Amino acid sequence: MSEYKNVEEVAKTLDIKPSTVKKYYLLFEQHNFRFIRSNQGKLMFSSSDIEMFKKLIKLKNEPGITLSNAVKQLASELKDTKEVLFAIKEIESNMINRFNYIDLKLNNLLNSLALSRGKDSF
């Protein structure tokens, strides 16, 4: 099970202020990215969220890249990744359905073969 961290823990991990973490997550939420919240409504960040913030920090420090543009770029990459994952899950589902169909047909053939052998032995 993955461990989630709150704003303060993420700030400590990244060696930034909690207000900076809040600024970052609010910018991502403006691009329809949603973070997990606890039952009490507090934000919880996964290890992949923290990696995303690390990428943001690295990207925003590149010459000519603003924080806003860095967030836009990462949000776009995340959207593309989600679309690819969705497509993979669809393909996986189709393959499972096909496997189950083939398995059913194979079992029917085996049952028919067993029945025909049973009739031949009488």
pLDDT of 76 higher than 90 = no
Q: Going by C-beta distance under 8 Å and a sequence separation of 6 or more, which residues neighbour residue 9?
A: 45
- Whole-angstrom distance, CA of residue 78 vs CA of residue 76: 5
Contact 68, 31 (CB under 8 A): no
Q: Going by C-beta distance under 8 Å and a sequence separation of 6 or more, which residues neighbour residue 97?
A: none
DSSP state of 37: E
Domains of the chain: 7-120 (1.10.1660)
pLDDT class of 86 with cuts at 50, 70, 90:
low
pLDDT class of 55 with cuts at 50, 70, 90:
very high
pLDDT of residue 27: 94
Overall average pLDDT of the 42-70 stretch = 92
Global pTM value: 0.63
Which residue reads 């690295």 in tokens? Answer: 58
pLDDT of residue 75: 86
- Whole-angstrom distance, CA of residue 94 vs CA of residue 1: 28
Contact 15, 53 (CB under 8 A): no
